[in-house]
Amino acid sequence: MATKTASGVAPRPMTNEEKKVIFASSLGTVFEWYDFYLYGSLAAIIAKQFFAGLDPTSAFIFALLAFAAGFIVRPFGALVFGRLGDMIGRKYTFLVTILLMGVSTFIVGILPTYATIGVAAPIILIVLRMLQGLALGGEYGGAATYVAEHAPNGRRGAYTAWIQTTATLGLFLSLIVILSTRTIVGEAAFADWGWRIPFIVSIVMLGISVYIRLSMNESPAFQKMKAEGKTSKAPLSESFGQWKNLKIVLLALFGLVAGQAVVWYSGQFYALFFLTSVLKVDGATANILVAASLIIGTPFFVIFGALSDKIGRKPIILAGMALAALTYFPLFGALTKAANPDLAAAQAKNQIVVTAAAGDCSFQGNPVAREIDFTKSCDIAKRFLAQNSVSYENATASAAGPATVKIGEKVITAPVATVQNSKFTPESTAAIAAFKKEVTEALKAAGYPAKADPAKIDKVTIVLILSVLVIYVTMVYGPIAAMLVELFPTRIRYTSMSLPYHIGNGWFGGLMPTIAFAMVAQNGNMYYGLWYPIVIAAVTFVIGLLFVRETKDVDIYAND
């Protein structure tokens, strides 16, 4: 560890000016997360608007991939802006990131759709998502570093926890704006053009954020280091070219951030997607329920951040990962019973089984595949079930032949399709339509609902379950900013902590919804995607337990 241990240094009180700049930093970061999460909250609508050239399942997975594109480039933003932050200062790097984020978000709001400009629409959308990701890659490390370098010893967990609330508050704000817009313009208009409004109004937030960033003072720790001529001239090579620092970067990633990331995105984003896309709860109701859980859970960021100042960062973070890994399956099972009891009852009474010959099924999670790329009977059967979010089990046939779908006691044989001139032949189209109709009727007869019945949704239980998921998030996320800051010396802190954070949250976490839904599409069981966060959280727990040191007593004001 590059910093030194505090030895009986009494915590100094924070001045009003320091509180002001910390508030300003946190508020600006809320707006930046709002911009970033609008897309994720509207993924289902964006899939129809910008990926209309694909079948519904591929369009949704591809929309999630476009969402993930912003996460994929976040580590590169961490390198670019982390280097600038360590060389020229935290304040002006903040200003650049908020401008890049805000302008990109506004352009999404006025971008023509696939129906207007064709394939250029999704390409431009993905480019804008990548620009957002670059901006966010430079944002978090700067915000956490900035706040931590203002906080007194012994209170760093409590103060940096406010930065940790900004991601959830940004998501909450995006849900509120979306819900308000939906209510005002109506569902039909919102799906057609109203979805643009939350993106467009972000320009107002951009103006507020720029004003806030201009009023901020530079970090005192950075000012002191700059005055002494100790700023790093090569933050990248110091952070990642020297084993003593690179080792800490790797431990931060695999022993802390990877597990934190999948718990974060499971508890907030995947839960929302699961409610709407799998359990068929209408979008407005799902947004309200998630927003309510965020209201309940958000104070725990500060509670666990402050608690980490007393008992340590590591036990709280690792406990959150362990609880998530152990309870995700029962919690999401309970969520199904509360949100769509008819679906839960149908699954318990009339199990669906797809039986196919070995090797007859293709990979269902391919996001760029078209409908005509799936001509085998197994693929046609699984594709239709996945499009209707129907959970099923797989069985291997004892002999070659077409796949069958068993719904309760009814067995339906899936057709084999033929493609001619990039289209299904008329005979294949008719056979597929007849198969889909028969499966739909069988599902209805077996009690499988087309959507969740609003009258049967147990909203109280759902909010309680979602709140537990959010509390797991607060356990792993609340103390982690302070811990990452304390792992690295001031001269390379922005760069060193930003990269593992954004690889963890951008790649392990940001890809979580996409990977999970692809796993479900391939396997058939609607809970199968939960294995991804469970395994990552469990592995991170073990590495963190064995190799990551506690940092709460580190004095970041000591000479590096």
Q: Would you list the domain boundaries of the chain?
A: 14-340+454-553, 345-445
β-strands 423-424, 419-420: how paired?
antiparallel
Q: Which residues contact 56 (CB under 8 A, 6 or more apart)?
A: 47, 387
- Taking alpha carbons only, the member of 327, 351, 371 closest to residue 525 is 351
Q: Is the pLDDT of residue 340 over 90?
A: yes
Q: What is the pLDDT of residue 1?
A: 45
Q: What is the pLDDT of residues 222-275, one digit of tens each?
A: 666 667 666 666 677 777 878 888 999 999 999 999 999 999 989 988 998 899
Q: For residue 124, with 0-12 CB atoms within 10 Å meaning exposed, 13-18 middle and 19 or more buried, which class applies?
A: middle
Q: Is the pLDDT of residue 560 over 60?
A: no
424/434 Cα distance (integer angstroms): 14
Q: What is the pLDDT of residues 138-169, one digit of tens each?
A: 777 777 777 887 777 788 898 888 888 887 78
Q: Is the pLDDT of residue 353 over 80?
A: yes
451/197 Cα distance (integer angstroms): 27
Question: What average pLDDT does the segment 72-99 reach?
Answer: 79
Q: What tokens were used for 171?
A: 């998501």
- Highest average pLDDT, of 228-237, 362-371, 474-483, comes from 474-483
Q: What is the CATH number of domain 345-445?
A: 3.40.30
* Positive or negative: CA dihedral 520, 522, 528, 533: negative
Q: How would residue 3 be classed by pLDDT, with cut points 50, 70 and 90?
A: very low
More confident residue, 437 or 510: 437
Q: What is the DSSP string of 499-532?
A: HHHHHIIIIIITTHHHHHHHHHHHH--TTGGGHH
Q: Which residues is 356 bridged to in the sheet? A: 396
156/148 Cα distance (integer angstroms): 6
More confident residue, 90 or 335: 335
More confident residue, 2 or 42: 42
Give me the chain's average pLDDT, please.
Answer: 85
* C-beta separation of 409 from 352 below 8 A: no
Q: Is the pLDDT of residue 559 over 60?
A: no
Question: What average pLDDT does the segment 310-321 reach?
Answer: 96
Q: What is the DSSP string of 417-430?
A: P-EETTEE-HHHHH
- Taking alpha carbons only, the member of 308, 50, 279, 33 closest to residue 159 is 308
* C-beta separation of 439 from 384 below 8 A: yes
Question: What average pLDDT does the segment 171-180 reach?
Answer: 86
Q: What is the pLDDT of residue 511?
A: 80
Q: What is the pLDDT of residue 187?
A: 86
Q: What is the pLDDT of residue 6?
A: 43
The helix-helix angle for 531-547 and 258-265 (nearest 10°) equals 150
Show the DSSP H helices in 149-193 as ranges. Answer: 156-185, 187-189
* C-beta separation of 475 from 323 below 8 A: yes
Residue 556 CA, chain-centre distance (Å), reads 30
* C-beta separation of 151 from 308 below 8 A: no
DSSP assigned state of 234? -
Question: What average pLDDT does the segment 479-503 reach?
Answer: 86
AA identity, residue 270 = Y
Q: How would residue 94 be classed by pLDDT, with cut points 50, 70 and 90?
A: confident
Q: What angle do CA 309, 315, 317 make, to 5 degrees?
A: 90
Residue 22 CA, chain-centre distance (Å), reads 25
Q: What is the pLDDT of residues 452-461, one digit of tens each?
A: 999 999 999 9
3-state DSSP assignment of residue 197: helix
Q: Is the pLDDT of residue 498 over 60?
A: yes
- Taking alpha carbons only, the member of 521, 345, 527 closest to residue 448 is 345
170/20 Cα distance (integer angstroms): 20
Q: What percent of the chain has pLDDT over 70?
A: 89
Q: What tokens were used for 95?
A: 């200003």
Q: How would residue 5 be classed by pLDDT, with cut points 50, 70 and 90?
A: very low
Q: What is the pLDDT of residue 312?
A: 95
The owner of tokens 């608007």 is 49
307/309 Cα distance (integer angstroms): 5
Q: Is the pLDDT of residue 10 over 60?
A: no
Q: How would residue 388 be classed by pLDDT, with cut points 50, 70 and 90?
A: confident
* C-beta separation of 471 from 301 below 8 A: no
- Identify the H or E element spanning 394: strand 393-396
AA identity, residue 366 = N
Q: Is the pLDDT of residue 130 over 70?
A: yes
Using only the alpha carbons of the chain, give its radius of gyration.
25
Q: Is the pLDDT of residue 65 over 60?
A: yes
Return the number of other C-beta atoms located less than 10 Å from residue 437's C-beta. Answer: 10
Q: How would residue 490 be classed by pLDDT, with cut points 50, 70 and 90?
A: confident
Q: What is the pLDDT of residue 55?
A: 67
3-state DSSP assignment of residue 446: coil
Q: What is the pLDDT of residue 222?
A: 67
Q: How would residue 21 be classed by pLDDT, with cut points 50, 70 and 90?
A: low
Residue 104 CA, chain-centre distance (Å), reads 19
Report the range of poorest mean pLDDT among 34-43, 342-351, 431-440: 34-43
Class of domain 14-340+454-553: mainly alpha
Q: What is the pLDDT of residue 71?
A: 78
The owner of tokens 């980490």 is 308
Q: What percent of the chain has pLDDT over 90?
A: 38
Q: What is the pLDDT of residue 7?
A: 39
399/405 Cα distance (integer angstroms): 16
Q: What is the pLDDT of residues 517-545, one digit of tens each?
A: 888 878 889 999 999 999 999 999 999 99
Show the DSSP H helices in 446-479 as ranges. Answer: 459-477
Rounded to the nearest 5°, which phi and psi values hold at 195?
-60, -20
The helix-helix angle for 56-72 and 512-523 (nearest 10°) equals 150
Please count the residues of the chain: 560
Question: What average pLDDT does the segment 551-555 reach?
Answer: 86
